[in-house]
Amino acid sequence: MVDDWRPTASIETLRERARLLARVRAFFAERGVLEVETPVLGHGGSTDVHLDSLSLEAVTPAGRERLWLQTSPEFHMKRLLAAGSGPIFQLARSFRDGEVGRRHNLEFTMLEWYRPGFTLDGLIGEVDALIRHVLPGVGPCRQRRYRDLFRETLQVDPFSTPLDTLRQLATRHGQIDMHESERDGCLDLLMSLVIEPGLGRGGIDMVIDYPASQAALARWRHDPEDGVEVAARFEAYVEGLELANGYHELTDAAEQARRFTKDNRERERLGKPVVDSDRRLVAALKAGMPEGCGVALGMDRLIQLALGKSSVAEVMAFATPRA
Spell out the domains of the chain, with CATH numbers in brackets. 11-140+202-322 (3.30.930.10)
pLDDT attached to residue 1: 61
Q: How sure is the predictor about 300, in pLDDT bands with cuts at 50, 70 and 90?
A: very high
pTM for the model:
0.94
Contact 94, 41 (CB under 8 A): no
Residue 223 has pLDDT above 80, yes or no: yes
Does residue 2 have a pLDDT over 80? no
pLDDT of 3 over the 90 cut: no
* Residue 227, Cβ density class (10 Å: 0-12 exposed, 13-18 middle, ≥19 buried): exposed
Q: What is the mean pLDDT of residues 33-53?
A: 95
Element (H, E) at 113: strand 107-116
- pLDDT, tens only, 258-296: 999 999 999 999 999 999 999 999 999 999 999 999 999
For position 110, what pLDDT does the model report? Answer: 98
pLDDT digit string, tens, across residues 82-110: 999 999 999 999 999 998 888 999 999 99
The pLDDT assigned to 100 comes to 83
Cα–Cα distance for residue pair 92/283, rounded to 1 Å: 23
pLDDT for 37: 98
Report the alpha-carbon distance of residue 310 to residue 134 in Å, rounded.
17
